[in-house]
Amino acid sequence: MNRVITLALLIVSVAVLAASPLSAQGSGQAAPPPPSAPASSPDKFSGVVFGDYYYFASENTPAFSKQQGFWFRRIFFTYDHAFSPALTTRFRLELASNGKLASPAANISPVIKDAWVRWSYSGKHQVTIGISPTSTIEFVDGFFGLRHVEKTPIDLYRLDSTRDFGVTLSGPLNTRNTVQYSAQVGNDSGQASEIDKYKAVRLAVRYVTNPGLVAEGFYAYYSKPLSANRTTLQAFAGYQNPTGRAGLQYFHHTRQPNAGTTNQEVTINVVSGFGVWMVKPAKFTVFGRIDHSDANPDAAAIDYLPIYKSAPFTLGVMGVEYYIHPSVRLSPNVEWVKYGTPVAGAAAPARNDLVYRLTWFWSW
């Protein structure tokens, strides 16, 4: 019986060795290849959601003062498709709460945020056609990295739109891709339909390293009816490394009066500085920002934080950000506006502004 068992074990051992990859290689037969990785999909769906629980402890606009509640400030749903490595398209919907605390309450309704096709026609040189980001705001907004807490100054103070319908050329100016350009011609109608013949031209040159220094110079010209044309000049410099980033921005915005009137040219200068310290990367962050702006005739129309339009002001933002998950964050923060001396002939604002927020953000 022992001989039978021993013989059986020997037969099984020989069979196992014969079937092993090592045996196959030793016999001159190639081992079977590993299964190939599945092909990447040309389609991608993604989304971003952020909003706040807010309390306006003090506000120059009576409708906001002492108000508190919940709102979604933005909801984005995005579809990206790659026709080929060099040809891609994006369609994005944006939804937002009524940021004016106006009655009656409005339902959250979608609008088109992005609808573009992009062709990489020569290496990293690209042409983008459709509703796409403006170079006025896109780079600084991405570097700041806290859009869910607050907009960057040009966007917040309503001096340009984050999107325009037009054509954009962009790409590197050197082989290391550290010096880049962007040139855009658009309707100057944001995401809305075109209703006139006037256009906007936006030009930007930037230097980017990571980690290290970043810088951008920007110029825009906005043609308007009755020769009420506008221009924007912007300079931005920043530094980033694995533990944080800081930036300093200055822009000069001018508005010509309507032809045939005695109105004066409007000039708005803004200086903004911010810092973000990643105390524990992807877990806990501390941030702060200070803006100083001349009086701005459009400031009272700012959603979620109307600012008195007839006085210069200083805006501050300070808070912390806690990562529940790399894609889910909570950001308690406080935002305040302190006003200076009103322009000639204007009354002083009723009070300075102070709002507390518990901001949430998630993405997928």
Domain that holds residue 317: 42-363
Residue 74 within a domain: yes
E strand or H helix at 88, and its extent?
strand 87-96
Residue 296 near residue 310, CB atoms below 8 Å = no
- Answer whether residue 286 is part of any domain: yes
- In whole angstroms, what is the distance from residue 333 CA to residue 29 CA? 66
Map residue 311 onto helix, strand or coil.
coil
What is residue 99's DSSP assignment? T
| CATH label of the domain that carries residue 61 | 2.40.160.10
Q: Are strands 43-58 and 353-363 parallel, antiparallel or unpaired?
A: antiparallel
CA–CA gap between residue 55 and residue 53 (Å, rounded): 7
The verdict on residue 155 lying in a domain is yes
Identify whether 329 is part of a domain: yes
Q: Cβ distance 155 to 147 under 8 Å?
A: no
Residue carrying structure tokens 């390293």: 209
Measure the CA–CA gap between 70 and 81, rounded to whole angstroms.
34
In a domain, 206, yes or no: yes
Residue 33, token pair as written in the block: 């290849």
Q: Is 37 helix (H, G, I), strand (E, B) or coil?
A: coil
pLDDT digits (tens, 9 = 90+) for 320-349: 999 999 999 999 999 999 999 999 999 999
Q: What is the pLDDT of residue 3?
A: 46
- The answer to whether residue 259 is domain-embedded is yes
Six-digit token string for 137: 């705001």
Instruction: Give the β-pairing of 328-339 and 200-208.
Output: unpaired
Name the DSSP class of 104.
S
Q: How far apart are CA 162 and CA 182, in angstroms?
A: 15
9 part of a folded domain: no
Amino acid at 57: A
Task: Count CB neighbours of 294 within 10 A.
Answer: 17
Q: What are phi and psi of 155, to 5 degrees?
A: -70, -50
Domain annotation covers residue 62: yes
The token pair that represents 60 in the structure block: 């120059």
364 residues of the chain, pLDDT tens digit each: 444 434 343 333 433 334 444 334 444 445 566 666 666 889 999 999 999 999 999 999 999 999 999 999 999 999 999 999 999 999 999 999 989 988 877 889 899 999 999 999 999 999 999 999 999 999 999 999 999 999 999 999 999 999 999 999 999 999 999 999 999 999 999 988 899 999 999 999 999 999 999 999 999 999 999 999 999 999 999 999 999 999 999 999 999 999 999 999 999 999 999 999 999 999 999 999 999 999 999 999 999 999 999 999 999 999 999 999 999 999 999 999 999 999 999 999 999 999 999 999 999 9
Q: What is the CA radius of gyration of the chain?
A: 28
3-state secondary structure of 143: helix
Nearest to 148 by CA among 50, 47, 56, 272: 50
Per-residue pLDDT at 13: 42
The DSSP secondary structure of 157-214, one letter per residue, reads: TTSS-SEEEEEEEEEESSTTS-EEEEEEEE-SSTTSPP-SS--EEEEEEEEE-SSEEE
pLDDT of residue 31: 55
Burial class of residue 344, CB neighbours in 10 A (0-12, 13-18, 19+): exposed
The domain total for the chain is: 1
Q: Amino acid identity of 175?
A: T
